[in-house]
Structure 1
Amino acid sequence: MADPIPETADTALVPTLLGDVIPRVESAYVLGLPSPQILDLVLERSRSTTVLVATDEEASQLKDELPDAVELVTAGIAAFAQDRRSQPRELVLALGGLDGLLPPADTMPWQQRLAHVTALAQAGGTVIVGLGNDAPLMALGHAERIDWARADDDPTRPTSAAALAQALAAAGQPVTTVHGLYGDPVNPGAAVIDALATGSRDGSLPAQVVEHVIDQAGTASIPAPDVVAVAARSGQLSNLATQWVAVSGGRGRSVYWTVDDAVVWADQDGPGLDWVIGGDADTAAALPQRVPDTITVERTLLRHIARADLPAFRAVARQLGDWVRSSADAAESSEIRLDEVRVAGATLARGISLRHAPVTDAAPVAEDAPDVEREPDPSARQVSASEARLAQAWRRFATRFAHSGRRSAWPAIFGEEDLVQLWLTMSGVAPGTVAPEADAPAVAVPAVVDEASRLDILQDRVAALTDTLAARDEQLLIREARIRTLRQQALGAARNRDRAVKLAQDLRRSRTYRLANQMRRASLVAQPKTLVRGVARKLDGKVRALRRTR
């Protein structure tokens, strides 16, 4: 069976990642057939380079392209490692994985191949190893990728980023970072550090980037937003990667992604801190320099809809309206997209845009639309730029929400345009300010509603009220039980207090107490100095009290 997952990536993304992790060295080994961009990068960073290929066909392919100073060797990894045991080098690059380092008939286990690779590196050197993901979550819709994987024939082959890191550590090369490559297997569109992907939440910046590149690749049988949301919640975002790149020695940025032919990166000093955006100068200049480590407005709204928490939904909508009207960041955006804007405490913040082309604010106009004369509305006023941008943002959200197939928190008789007008009102736009789209029905609840729909709506309301009353009754029962417990405790404390007072009174009236008191007074007569001091203190106190009353 042919290899289902190519492990060599020829795109601007991977050379940019390697450019951040490969240092300048005296000598380097390149294992496997590299892409021209990666080979040029290694030749630029290394004074002496040796390229190892496993077949004569690969050697003939590279022979005319390599400079004379580059040594080209055709051999298996075992023979090559044995021959170069006394010549370890500062950089060992096996980006294409270890499957191409053997002749076709050789079946050496993957772990043994890795041991030969790490033996070629100097102590403290940089080792970079690639590995294809044989069991990605995206393979669930492809039967041919479920039936067979290379790990079925070789149990030593890692099937996760964590297993790859453990294998390198066992071979004496502690891993600095493991980068997951996402999107198209041949031309990945994003790279995310595995530890960061594992801890990313749904709606976070890494999840947004992964969702975008998977959607652009078009290889998912499940909608990209849904599979990314589930993977992020379960800590399995790393398993959406098509391949991993393990680095021992260098450290790259946290997240990379491509915009057209440019590469942009985002870096973070720690969990919860802002993302710093950089990369290609022209592309990064159009993005905010810092982005908060929070979730998007779209994810926040979808969670409120799923919980039917309409007050929270209205609060976010009001927050969105205030931000669009007053924020300079919102004014700089060519288009407001709720899957890009992020929640930042009591306000919102502009997030990263993954679009490949600028989007204009002008709405498309039908070429053959007939001219319709409308009577001027004396109460109508010109729509402001902020109101138009809000309408555009809400319409896009309504379309994405309708296509997702999620259950709405509003009655089924509300169409997309009805919801848009309702949400605009929540955002502080006066009703009727923004006209409905030409192909949308009028913004009004139909006067005639079939009895079945009306009955369904009433049943939903009755069920919601019943659930609310049941929850309230349960809370009242809990409070009643707590009040009864506190009352019993208070009554018990009062009874104990009365019992203690009665015991004290009985003790004072007892013959033993009176006898002890008389003996104490008699002892004072036997000690005249003590008696005089006591009497003097009492007299002094009475004199002072008398003086204070004057």
Structure 2
Amino acid sequence: MSELASGVQVVRGEMQPWSDQATPHPALAALLTDVVPANRRTLILGPHAPQQIESVLAHSADVTILVRSVADAQQLGEDFGPCLQVIAGALDGLQGEPYDVIIATDGLDRVLGYDSSDLSWTERLGALAGLAAPDAVVVLALENEFSLLNLLDSRPADERHGDDEWRPLHDDPTRPVSVDQLKAALPWRAEVYADFGSRTFVRADVAAAARPGELPTRLATAALESVDVPLLSPAAEGVDSACRAGLLGSIPTGWVAIAGAGATRDVYTQTGEAVLTADQNLTGWDVTITGDATPAFDPAVVPTTVPSGVSVETVLFRLAAAEDVPAFRKLAADLGEWATTSRVILRWDDVIFDGESFAYGVSPWVTEEPVDKEDLLAAAWSRFQDRLIGQHRRHPWPPWMLGDDLVSAWLGMSGIEPPEQLQATSPDTAPAAAVQVARGKELAAALGVLLETRTDTVDVRTALAEAEEAKQELFELKGHVYGLERTLGFRNKAMKTRENRIRELRGQLQRLTTAHERIRGSRTYAVSRVIFHAAQVRKPKTVARKVARRIRKR
């Protein structure tokens, strides 16, 4: 073992130039806070974010970190100083006294260097076990190859990791791919947590018992939806299917095994910049949330006890898919009676329904001032409409009844009548119902920003459906264009026939006019006119006397 000028020790397998990126995870830091015992000799294995390192340093006085990048080791030495012993090198090059605590929440994929042997996952685990004391506390993460996001990832396998994530692990038959295999592979008795996007950690047995719409399922779905991965289909559908089969603990992005530690919580999840923890009891969940209050985030509104039950959104989805409009209408009316003016933004995916009553969930998002009941319901229904249509779920309403029209109909079911429409001052004045829905859409959009809901990504299934719809529309438009072209052709021929007929009539009219003028200028016509007027005389004797008088006068 050698030492650099910066005080960083170097063992065999160091990589230079190189850098491994680590992302901070507040929920994982909270889990480590509960797991790491005080004043024990600790080893942090692999790249970890400063937030995780600080959570370990807060409990242990003698902490060593092993990273394969020399540049990362030097940076850690500068950031933490003498309170953290930094070693640059590979796992197979580290030797020394056993450690009482080993933290490897990045897993065993990034612990070997260029010069290291091509060790399998089991061999790496053996090297890690050789560094652990008999009664050591070990925290080990494992990426799940059978994760839902991995199965739905639209990218080819060779494009899912770039050159900056060099992983010398290929098709390894010794690598565990389930909770049971992971427990069997570990040399210690361990508790396993399901890791959903490093934002939510759920105890494996609790995840296996979770069903659609329950608290662990809601938190897991929200965590997976926040991961920036191009998917073949929405993750929510796969999560619900896995929950119905009792397989929620089998589809996370990874697992975290904890051996030799004391009591921990059932659920750890990141909510904004805070961390929410929960323990399951006989009637529901005991909830604790840590974080500073802001104008949009108030931990005080989160109840300390959340009842068990499914979300209102899950029930509404089921009723809409079953086309049970009367039951949907009744539930909407009950929600309208239950809702009140409040600072808490209503969201049906976090309101709990136990079959008889409603209760708030674990959402701490609020507004600065209390919002009217009508606006809160408009925001909740607007968000529900986006999720219903965005997930391509079945519903009994006409396909052209979307957006504001559908939200207005649901508001009417909740007992919210549109305000009285005043006389419009201009042709562009929006109706009162549209103004009411617009306020709800603003609140829903603000909540989407706080929840980091991504609306700019389109899964492949949606893209294919839109492409098929566009293809069908193009085919129909082509038929319509063909019909129009045919009609225009017929009309063009009819117009040409009519034009020829008009020309013929004009020629005949000109000939008749010329003949008429010639007849009018002849002497025969003049004599005929005299005869015609003479024939009109009814009393010839009277006319003769008048003519004689005029002659005599002349």
Using structure 1 for the length normalisation, give the TM-score: 0.63
Find the residue that maps to 2:193 and give its secondary structure.
strand
Structure 2 partner of 1:529: none
**Which of 383, 389, 396 in structure 1 is aligned with 2:376?**
389
Contact 2:274–2:289 under 8 Å retained in 1: no
Structure 1 partner of 2:53: 39
Q: In the alignment, does 2:131 pair up with 1:134?
A: no
Structure 2 partner of 1:203: 213
Contact 2:196–2:220 under 8 Å retained in 1: no
Q: In the alignment, does 2:114 pair up with 1:114?
A: no
Find the residue that maps to 1:131 and give its secondary structure.
strand
Displacement of 1:79 in angstroms is 4.7
Contact 1:151–1:159 under 8 Å retained in 2: no
In the alignment, structure 1 segments of 5+ residues that lack a partner are 1-5, 183-187, 325-329, 363-384, 441-550
**Which of 404, 410, 416 in structure 2 is aligned with 1:423?**
410
Structure 2 Cα separation of the partners of residues 413 and 64 of structure 1:
61
Q: RMSD of the alignment, in Å?
A: 3.4
**Which of 288, 291, 306 in structure 1 is aligned with 2:306?**
291
Summarize the Cα distance change of 1:65–1:420 in structure 2 as closer, same or farther, 3 Å threshold. closer
Structure 1 residues 397-422: Cα deviation after superposition (integer angstroms, max 9, x where no partner): 33432333333224556555554454
Q: How does 1:301-340 map to 2 (within 5 A)?
A: 301-324=316-339, 330-340=340-350
Q: If you compute each CA radius of gyration, which structure gives the higher value, 1 or 2?
A: 2
Displacement of 1:342 in angstroms is 1.1
Q: In the alignment, does 2:169 pair up with 1:158?
A: no
**Which of 253, 259, 265 in structure 1 is aligned with 2:265?**
253
Find the residue that maps to 2:62 and give its secondary structure.
strand
Displacement of 1:349 in angstroms is 0.6
Summarize the Cα distance change of 1:109–1:331 in structure 2 as closer, same or farther, 3 Å threshold. same
Summarize the Cα distance change of 1:269–1:88 in structure 2 as closer, same or farther, 3 Å threshold. farther
Structure 1 Cα separation of the partners of residues 21 and 211 of structure 2:
28
Displacement of 1:55 in angstroms is 5.5
**Which of 39, 42, 51 in structure 1 is aligned with 2:65?**
51
Structure 1 partner of 2:106: 96
Contact 1:335–1:361 under 8 Å retained in 2: no
Summarize the Cα distance change of 1:431–1:46 in structure 2 as closer, same or farther, 3 Å threshold. closer
The farther-off stretch of 47-56 and 109-118 is 47-56
Structure 2 Cα separation of the partners of residues 348 and 146 of structure 1:
48
Displacement of 1:129 in angstroms is 0.8
Summarize the Cα distance change of 1:346–1:108 in structure 2 as closer, same or farther, 3 Å threshold. same
Structure 2 Cα separation of the partners of residues 412 and 40 of structure 1:
53
Structure 2 partner of 1:10: 24
Q: How does 1:164-179 map to 2 (within 5 A)?
A: 164-168=182-186, 171=187, 173-179=188-194
Contact 2:192–2:203 under 8 Å retained in 1: yes
Structure 2 partner of 1:26: 40
> How many residues are aligned here?
395
Summarize the Cα distance change of 1:129–1:436 in structure 2 as closer, same or farther, 3 Å threshold. same
Amino acid corresponding to residue 290 of structure 1 in structure 2:
T
Using structure 2 for the length normalisation, give the TM-score: 0.63
Structure 2 Cα separation of the partners of residues 214 and 199 of structure 1:
19
Displacement of 1:46 in angstroms is 1.8
Find the residue that maps to 1:47 and give its secondary structure.
coil
Structure 1 residues 218-250: Cα deviation after superposition (integer angstroms, max 9, x where no partner): 424233433332333333434553332211122
Structure 2 Cα separation of the partners of residues 320 and 304 of structure 1:
15
Summarize the Cα distance change of 1:359–1:281 in structure 2 as closer, same or farther, 3 Å threshold. closer
Structure 2 Cα separation of the partners of residues 361 and 406 of structure 1:
33
Amino acid corresponding to residue 281 of structure 2 in structure 1:
D
**Which of 274, 283, 286 in structure 2 is aligned with 1:262?**
274
Displacement of 1:360 in angstroms is 7.2
Structure 1 Cα separation of the partners of residues 72 and 368 of structure 2:
45
Structure 2 partner of 1:350: 360
Contact 1:264–1:277 under 8 Å retained in 2: yes
Displacement of 1:91 in angstroms is 0.9
Structure 2 Cα separation of the partners of residues 225 and 275 of structure 1:
25
Displacement of 1:137 in angstroms is 1.7
Give the percent of matched residue pairs that are identical in Structure 1 and Structure 2.
30
Find the residue that maps to 1:352 and give its secondary structure.
coil
Displacement of 1:301 in angstroms is 1.0
**Which of 273, 277, 280 in structure 1 is aligned with 2:284?**
273
Structure 2 partner of 1:436: 433
Structure 1 partner of 2:315: 300
Displacement of 1:280 in angstroms is 2.2
The farther-off stretch of 109-118 and 311-320 is 311-320
Structure 1 Cα separation of the partners of residues 88 and 375 of structure 2:
64
Contact 1:199–1:235 under 8 Å retained in 2: yes
Find the residue that maps to 2:388 and give its secondary structure.
helix
Summarize the Cα distance change of 1:216–1:421 in structure 2 as closer, same or farther, 3 Å threshold. same
